[in-house]
């Protein structure tokens, strides 16, 4: 008996109660065999890698912001911690990309987020945040730390020509 006849018999018997389990098992075998021959095309692999990289980046940023929020809430327990995307804040001052109109600063480094530490009756403390991450070696991490420093130092908060108070997140200190 050929495969077609077996498939036809399984489909015909699937309506009967006694053979329903056998028919479902046959269907599962048929689909699992088909899946073993399926592979992603080159375009499918590129798309899968793109989504994997995006998800990894989003998870890294989420982890960095959660850690920053926790550390700053511990260090400044008397203040409210708010995290705002830097693009929202910086749109008021200058163009963010070459496509946007407005004053251009021709400086590509910017922080990704700002943290505001707010307390009623006290001046707010605003801190820039840059989120970076990788699964590479220490040399690559050092480059990322230098780049993150450049992103954070690109924005001056406070009166001109006065040094700003900067916070460094050390959870164990």
How far is C-alpha 52 from the geometric centre of its chain's CA atoms? 10
- Say if residues 10 and 2 touch (Cβ distance below 8 Å): no
Instruction: Show the domain range for 11.
Output: 3-37
Give CA–CA dist 133/65, Å, rounded. Answer: 12
pLDDT in tens, 14-49: 555 666 677 777 778 887 877 777 788 889 889 988
Would you say residue 146 lies in a domain?
A: yes
Would you say residue 166 lies in a domain?
A: no
Q: At 127, which helix (H) or strand (E)?
A: strand 122-129
pLDDT in tens, 105-124: 555 678 889 999 988 888 88
Say if residue 30 is exposed, middle or buried (CB neighbours under 10 Å; 0-12, 13-18, 19+).
middle
pTM: 0.60
pLDDT of residue 169: 40
Same domain flag for 74 and 96: yes
């Amino acid at each position: 008996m050929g495969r077609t006849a077996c498939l036809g018999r399984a489909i015909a018997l699937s309506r009967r109660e006694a053979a329903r389990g056998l028919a479902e098992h046959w269907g599962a075998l048929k689909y699992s065999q088909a899946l073993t021959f399926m592979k992603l095309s080159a375009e499918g692999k590129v798309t899968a890698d793109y989504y994997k990289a995006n998800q990894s980046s989003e998870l890294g940023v989420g982890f960095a912001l959660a850690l920053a929020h926790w550390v700053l809430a511990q260090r400044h327990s008397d203040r409210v911690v708010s995290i705002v995307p830097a693009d929202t804040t910086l749109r008021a001052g200058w163009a963010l990309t070459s496509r946007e109109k407005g004053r251009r600063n021709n400086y590509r480094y910017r922080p990704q987020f700002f943290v505001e530490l707010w307390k009623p009756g006290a001046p707010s403390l605003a801190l820039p945040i840059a989120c970076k991450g990788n699964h590479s070696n220490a040399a690559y991490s050092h480059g990322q730390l230098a780049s993150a420093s450049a992103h954070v130092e690109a924005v001056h908060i406070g009166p001109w020509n006065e040094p700003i108070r900067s916070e460094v997140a050390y959870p164990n200190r």
